[in-house]
Amino acid sequence: MNETQRMKELAALLHQASKAYYAEDREIMSNFEYDKLYDELVELEKKTGVVLAGSPTVSVGYEAVEELPKERHESPMLSLGKTKSREELAEWLGTQKGLLSWKLDGLTIVLTYREGKLFKAVTRGNGEVGEVITGNARTFVNLPYQIPFHGELILRGEAVITYADFEKINEKIEDVSARYKNPRNLCSGSVRQLNNEITAERNVRFYAFALVKAEGADFENSREKQFVFLKEQGFEVVEYKAVTARNVVESVGEFEERVKDYPVPSDGLVLILDDIAYGESLGMTAKFPRNSIAFKWADELAETTLREMEWSASRTGLINPVAIFDPVELEGTTVSRASVHNVSIVRELKLGIGDRITVYKANMIIPQIAQNLTQSGSLDIPEQCPVCGAPTKLQKENDTETLICTNPDCDAKKIKSFTLFVSRDAMNIDGLSEATLEKFLAKGFLHTYADLFHLDRHREEIVEMDGFGEKSYQNLTDSLEKARHTTLPRLIYSLGIPNIGIANAKMICREYKNDLSKMLKAPVEDLSAIDGVGPVIAAAFHDFWETEKNRAALEALLAEVEIAKEDFMEGEQPLSGKVFVITGSLNHFENRNVLKERIESLGGKVTGSVTKKTTCLINNDNTSNSSKNKKAKELGVEVITEDAFLELYMNGGDSNAD
């Protein structure tokens, strides 16, 4: 076992011991043994000059930034020329030795080390200007914090997320439609986070694939020796194999055999000349360097029959064609649908129902139509929107023809209002992300809010939808049943009345003691007189009910839900005129929202920040240095615990909290 491997082993053992001791209240080794292993790791780090990512001897502080600054690369990062021919690789290589490696599918990063420490990390961006993500790079799980080389070192590599970590992260997202589509998208979003604590949770890894500069170092004109050098510095280098024209075709086959089971996403291979000087002497084209070339896997094609064209309306008004065909096996999975993107592609392929087509997965991921073998050209472009039935219209922009719905009130465009309706402060319906709602609207499942409570009419279709299944459907059904039991303020807020937030809805409902009939008939003058409402909000509330469509929507909802009864005290309520701020964790109440609702039911107000009008700040850790505690002390606002609040303001703790 070499020194680097021993360091990795020690780090893993020490982390395992710490987790058992601090998080699980058990010991798997004695303190003596722990200290012995820790000291061994420290000595190895001193000896090698390498401090690996995740080493127990260091810790990474988390930070958040408002934006990622841009920075121009010292030299442009060009794309590679591509081929799908193995024989072309042999011809390209000629008499030279080359290095054949995975072309990893993630986000390219440029790292700069100075005096042995990471100085800067920048994304590829557009090849000329990238984003600085240094804080995020420090959380990559296999990136060395410190290296023995102390000259300026610049290298390039790929940040990736393994398939296993991708699956683990997606499993934690209950809403199937909100899950990440592939590891590359997840990686890109993770690397470019504004808060590097989120990046740290994603297990991003870095694999070096090119050394740009190593001040003063001599690699005897060999790329392979550069790779060996990078390994000695503690970097994980992309897996490679030295090849010649004689064995490159065979070697490509070996890589291809392994790609389906390879733990890291790869969309091909890269072949680079080992002779540095010769490679650089070849120069570059306008787009590509001549010292390297990319090999893309030949797409697996399957022949099938086009059975249907589904026209899917979106919130932008676009109506997008989706091809439905007889199921075929591609890259190890069964596919039966492929987006055709726009009308121009439909016409270019001369599609018609019953045509024989070939399909493939772009980059082994996204199903696409490759070719139409029969080209009947008989497919009709719909003249009516599949959602609302309004006339459609063809529009052309930059030589691309698309289909749009002409109805400004098309249900497919109502995505934002439905998103508000199901949100936490409104009807609080889990499992209905904006993406899922868009699918339901596009399929015509939803026309009014009340339709949400009758999705059982479309059970079979929902269960068969991408990302759904029996379990997801049952979870959604359970959430909808739970949402049937709600409060009147939540229901009022969910309707999306202009200028009416949840707090305003609560004030109005409290003033009229949940008498909906009185509320709907209330004149603007009376509504304006409610403390905290005012003329603008009052007018918006009044005018909303003047529209028959809005009244009908409410009536339909009232037939589906059960409004919780509330007790309204006669006269002035005990917390009337008092303003509270809540922070930190609670002991007696389930969460801060529960306590907030309790305070408001007794006439009090709850705000998000401490001001001179604040009666008191409720914080069980009243000695903390949080910003709210500091502000309260500056303004002379009392900071009290939850127990003290119950004693002082709620009759000795009669809170109904438990």
Taking the C-alpha atoms of residue 80 and residue 70, their distance in angstroms, rounded to an integer, is 24
Q: How far is CA 191 from the centre of its chain?
A: 11
- What integer pLDDT is reported at residue 652 of this predicted model? 42
Give the DSSP H or E segment for 617: strand 616-618
Measure Cα distances from 102 to 224, 239, 241, 244 in Å.
15, 6, 10, 17
Catalytic: which of 103, 361, 439, 628? 103
**Residue 613 a catalytic site member:** no
Reduce the secondary structure of 302-361 to three states and give it as a string. EEEEEEEEEEEECCCCEEEEEEEEEEEEECCEEEEEEECCCHHHHHHHCCCCCCEEEEEE
Looking at residue 270, what is its pLDDT? 96
With beta carbons less than 8 A apart as the criterion, state whether 26 and 7 touch.
no
| Bridge partners (DSSP) listed for residue 318 | 404
- Out of 449-463, 501-515, 542-556, which region has the weakest mean confidence (pLDDT)? 501-515
DSSP code of residue 103: E
Closest CA to 306 of 341, 334, 340, 332: 340
* Region at 363 (left for phi over 0; alpha for psi -120 to 50; beta for the rest): left
**Over the chain, what is the mean pLDDT?**
85
393-403 pLDDT per residue, tens: 998 876 788 99
Q: Are strands 400-405 and 392-397 parallel, antiparallel or unpaired?
A: antiparallel
pLDDT at 373: 95
Q: What are phi and psi of 369, to 5 degrees?
A: -90, 125
Backbone angles phi, psi at 55, to 5 degrees: -65, 135
Average pLDDT over residues 287-300: 83
* 8 Å CB contact between 99 and 243: yes
Give the Cα separation of 400 and 379 in Å (integer): 18
pLDDT tens by residue, 34-78: 767 887 888 898 888 888 877 887 755 555 556 788 888 877 788
Chain centroid offset of residue 380 CA: 37
Smallest CA-to-CA distance from 157 within 81, 231, 246 is with: 231
Tell me what pLDDT residue 484 has: 94
Round to whole Å and give the CA distance between 418 and 408.
Answer: 16
Kindly give the residue spans of alpha helices, DSSP state H, lying in 382-469: 415-422, 434-442, 459-464
**Which among 530, 541, 626 is positioned nearest to 585, based on CA atoms?**
626
Strand partners, 71: 130
**What mean pLDDT do residues 260-276 have?**
91
